[in-house]
Structure 1
Amino acid sequence: MKNQTRVTILLLVVLAAFAIAASTGSSNRIGVCIRNCAQCKKMFGAYFEGQLCADTCVKFKGKLIPDCEDASSIAPFITKIDDE
């Protein structure tokens, strides 16, 4: 009985470690995504929707990381400024 309890506890510890590692990886991706949004905002200024970019990072948990040099990855966040 004691061995079964030890195995169960060990299994729970291993599962908890995997859960922590998975959540840390996700937050790292979100952080990279948001930093890239900030970098693009600095590069493109008023032409880049930084808040929309950051919101997208959070919504998709960092799976769609914008690259300021890749037009297709930042296209949804580029806006045309109207001349008045």
Structure 2
Amino acid sequence: MQIVQLFLEKSKNKINKGVGSTNVDSKFKSCCANSMYRITETIINDKESHERLFDELSSRIADIMAACLSNLSQVIAMKCHTQVAEPAH
């Protein structure tokens, strides 16, 4: 639980750094930190998950990875169609 608490504190710091920033990278990091904050806050507040923390985290990480990978083929297809073919010299 100490590690989860550490992630919670780090995510708060990242969110605060991204607030009001015009840098796209900072906004992206702030959005990711917000997700990390919400997940860690849920873990800390869910007293039942303390006993099964590893199982809970594994399941949540797998769900996040599945969500990210579900659109991968569409992203690859879009990148292939938008790439400009340059003639070889």
**TM (normalized to structure 2)?**
0.34
Bigger Cα Rg: 1
